[in-house]
Amino acid sequence: MAGHFCPRCNTLVPPILSHCPRCGREHERVVGPARQGERTEEEDLAPNTVKIERPPYFPYRPRPSQVEIVRAVEDAMDSGKHLVMESGTGTGKTVCSLVGALQHAKANKKKVLYLTRTISQSDQVMKELRSISRRQRVTGIPMLGRRKSCLLIRSLDEFEDIPPHALAKICEERKSRTLAKQKGGCPHYADFLAIGETSFLQYCSNHLPTAAEFDTFCEKQGACPYEARKAVMPLVDVVAVPYVQLLSKEIRSQLLDRLQLTMDDFVLIVDEAHNLIDAARDQESFDLSVRDIEAAEAESKELGNPRLVNGVEHTYLCITLRRIIEEAIKEQIPRGSFDAKLGRRFLEGRLRGELELSDEEMRSMCANLVNIGQEHVDTRLEAGKEPVSATLRLGSLLTEWFQAEDSRFVKIVSSDDLGCLRAYCLDPQETTRFLREVKGAVHMSGTMQPLRQYADILDLPSDRELRIFPSPFPPENRLVLYAEDVCAGQREMREDPTMRTRIEDHIIDICQATDRNTMVFFRSYEMLRSMRGRIEESVDRPLYWEEAGSSRRLASSIQAFKKGRGGVFFTVMGGKVAEGLDFPGQELDIAVVVGLPYPPPSLPLEELRRRYDRMYGQGRGWEYSSAVPAVRKVQQAVGRLIRTETDRGVAIILDNRISRYREQIGARPSDDLVKDLVGFLGWSKRF
């Protein structure tokens, strides 16, 4: 990077210095070229323009709203509070939150934990840290779990099917062999030890690598990226952490121990925080399936059918459990349904009656299952086999089931997958308890409203601060339209056989009207698949389709779409494309939203609605559990359009139910979608 000349003595000042090496005059460090869409502080300031005071760690010429966000973040962390904020498109919430957090953390010798949902979000954190580091030196690293970064595990057959605790066992056993200089150790761990942590820390300090870049650096040296990360993380300023690392009590405890942190030693940033509540519920929810029971029954023969408590052997317990689930499916699930809510202590009562056990004996039975399973894991590990046990899993699941309070969980019997018992978490107390203990946090998203709902459900402390920072981009650069003649609801489409055809007609007409890059967001994969045939036959443009579960193909399609012109990308709301990916400039000009993605009816959803009605008032249940998540997904899709100050784009919503939220989204009805579209975007070669 080039330096600059001192205005006093005309000496060349290297970019790493803050003063002239000849005359000593102090200078602001050169921070390098601006990002796309950013202007440097020295560029074309109008006469009499007052410069905005730039926060010490801010790497670009800030807008007034960005300085306000930085101050809000820093103030919240200085006072140990939680800031819940909606930060609109273009506010630069990633860099603003990092700057505010770093200014507090560096002054108070704390670490910043930046919670992300996807690897692409952690990559963005590292890119912003690179910019910050050109102004004030900072260090950071993105964290990945063992499954994604351990070179040894990647070499194992079918490692994807090995549960996390078994992977940890394999890793620890191989490492112990390496340390003892025995055969069967891990060569990648040995190479890491030989190289030493200093090399990896220096690489992180100099390059602030993304997750993939760090893995590649380690792999070229034959060293284990997972162990290298563990060594570096306690030594850097910022760690980008996947959600699960903090939502799981066990994993979180291990992480904080590894980082050598107490609850007073870090501040927290939660990115895309509108996803946190569902992620926390999913983390605490679990299933006990007939497949789990059958696997444990098969293993009991290998174990010699051990006795668990007086009168109950391993195999008999499995047979009894399977029969209880099968009978519950027949007796309790109504015809035409696939699940039913269970009564209080259903399984406990049935097992106690069938096995003639007391509550104390039931607890002993579960503990013995866990102990027997753990011994089996150790035996398999010594024999060089995968350290897994169906008995250990069954004992752990039964223990969890008996400990799951009816006040926090809805318990269900389902006919899915041969039959299962399902404990769905309504109130993720483990997550809320942890968050309340954090001394300084920012929860942010581009679509957080209503903010009070988020703060209430997570039971954040009463002194939490709720703030909305609107997008600084000109509102006239975006046009949001909706069609009044179609409704993409399931009931409406069943009752009106012409509805599907009319929606398809709109999609085809919009795609054929222009050669601008277009993205079509469906409410579900089912709807996407059902309309694909006719769209492919009728649209004469390059077409790209997201398919569930195909991450590698999706990444390739996204790159082709972004690099090309005139393409149409078909995806779903709430998916990987609808959140966290940027399409600046002409990479995306038109977004078509097909339907409102209300969550499908389910027993857990009904329980959640009733719970919210009781807690927050009648009618809030449907609003909080269905309407708010659906509108957020629409806003996320529409938000892909405008990513820089010069972007212009049109969003078209093919569902007249959006009229209920037209003011919130900034939408207006249109009698002629194609005419309004072309009129806003200008000339199109297709007209």
With respect to residue 96, please indicate whether it lies within any of the assigned structural domains.
no
Question: What are the pLDDT digits (tens) for 38-83?
Answer: 333 333 333 344 467 888 899 998 888 899 999 999 999 999 999 9
CATH code, 584:
3.40.50.300
**pLDDT band, residue 619 (cuts 50/70/90):** confident
Alpha-carbon distances, residue 54 vs 26, 50, 99 (angstroms): 17, 12, 11
Whether residue 574 has pLDDT greater than 90: no
The residue among 579 and 588 whose pLDDT is bigger is 588
Residues 421 and 479 in one domain: no
| The pLDDT of residue 642 | 79
| The pLDDT of residue 17 | 45
Mean of the pLDDT values across residues 249-275? Answer: 93
Question: What are the pLDDT digits (tens) for 113-131?
Answer: 999 988 888 999 999 999 9
Whether residue 572 has pLDDT greater than 50: yes
Residues 192 and 299 in one domain: no
**pLDDT band, residue 557 (cuts 50/70/90):** confident
According to DSSP, the residues that pair with 412 across neighbouring strands are 341, 422
> Percent of the chain scored above 90 by pLDDT?
65
**pLDDT band, residue 455 (cuts 50/70/90):** very high
Residues 504 and 635 in one domain: yes
Most confident of 34-43, 139-148, 177-186, 655-664: 655-664
Residues 544 and 620 in one domain: yes
**pLDDT band, residue 409 (cuts 50/70/90):** very high
Residues 488 and 574 in one domain: yes
d(CA 591, CA 634): 10
Residues 503 and 391 in one domain: no
Alpha-carbon distances, residue 321 vs 388, 393, 400, 406, 639 (angstroms): 21, 14, 15, 20, 49
Whether residue 22 has pLDDT greater than 80: no
Which residue range is the domain that position 654 belongs to? 475-681
**pLDDT band, residue 325 (cuts 50/70/90):** very high
With respect to residue 5, please indicate whether it lies within any of the assigned structural domains.
no
Residues 407 and 321 in one domain: yes
| The pLDDT of residue 36 | 37
With respect to residue 131, please indicate whether it lies within any of the assigned structural domains.
no
Residues 182 and 296 in one domain: no
Question: What are the pLDDT digits (tens) for 474-499?
Answer: 888 899 999 999 999 999 999 999 99
With respect to residue 608, please indicate whether it lies within any of the assigned structural domains.
yes
Q: How many angstroms from the chain centroid is the CA of residue 533?
A: 32
Whether residue 422 has pLDDT greater than 90: yes
With respect to residue 246, please indicate whether it lies within any of the assigned structural domains.
no
Cis peptide bond prior to 450, omega within 30° of 0: yes
d(CA 452, CA 359): 41
With respect to residue 93, please indicate whether it lies within any of the assigned structural domains.
no
| The pLDDT of residue 686 | 55
| The pLDDT of residue 184 | 83
Of 88, 48, 44, the C-alpha closest to 68 is 88
d(CA 565, CA 228): 41
Q: Out of 16-20, 157-161, 451-455, pick the least confident.
A: 16-20
Alpha-carbon distances, residue 434 vs 78, 460, 490 (angstroms): 19, 10, 39
DSSP per residue over 80-128, as a string? T-EEEEEE-TTS-HHHHHHHHHHHHHHHHT-EEEEEESSHHHHHHHHHH
Q: How many angstroms from the chain centroid is the CA of residue 162?
A: 22
The domain boundary, picked from 216, 236, 256, lies at 236
d(CA 344, CA 349): 9
Whether residue 656 has pLDDT greater than 80: yes
Question: What are the pLDDT digits (tens) for 193-217?
Answer: 999 999 999 999 999 999 999 999 9
| The pLDDT of residue 553 | 77
CB neighbourhood size of 57 (10 A): 21
| The pLDDT of residue 365 | 96
Alpha-carbon distances, residue 473 vs 65, 93, 348, 645 (angstroms): 11, 14, 58, 5
- Coil/strand/helix, residue 573: coil
**pLDDT band, residue 101 (cuts 50/70/90):** very high
CATH code, 346:
1.10.275.40
The domain boundary, picked from 425, 460, 488, lies at 425
Residues 593 and 652 in one domain: yes
Which two three-digit tokens encode residue 411? 């318990």
Residues 635 and 551 in one domain: yes
HSE of 141 in the Cβ direction (CA atoms, 13 Å)?
Answer: 23
Residues 231 and 322 in one domain: no
The chain-wide mean pLDDT, for the chain, equals 87
| The pLDDT of residue 465 | 95
Of 620, 253, 246, 263, the C-alpha closest to 457 is 620
> Percent of the chain scored above 70 by pLDDT?
90
**pLDDT band, residue 324 (cuts 50/70/90):** very high
CATH code, 160:
1.10.30.20
| The pLDDT of residue 320 | 96
The residue among 158 and 648 whose pLDDT is bigger is 648
**pLDDT band, residue 7 (cuts 50/70/90):** low
Phi, psi of 67 (to 5 degrees): -60, -40
Question: What are the pLDDT digits (tens) for 332-343?
Answer: 999 889 999 998
DSSP per residue over 134-191, as a string? TTS---EEE---HHHH-HHHHTSTTGGGS-HHHHHHHHHHHHHHHHTT-TT--HHHHH
Whether residue 645 has pLDDT greater than 80: no
Question: What are the pLDDT digits (tens) for 344-378?
Answer: 889 999 999 999 999 999 999 999 999 999 999 98
Mean of the pLDDT values across residues 84-106? Answer: 92
With respect to residue 433, please indicate whether it lies within any of the assigned structural domains.
no
Residues 672 and 564 in one domain: yes
Q: How many domains does the chain have?
A: 3
Most confident of 140-154, 479-493, 543-557, 635-649: 479-493
The domain boundary, picked from 176, 211, 236, lies at 236
Of 35, 31, 57, 70, the C-alpha closest to 136 is 57
With respect to residue 391, please indicate whether it lies within any of the assigned structural domains.
yes
Give residue for tokens 């980008």: 240
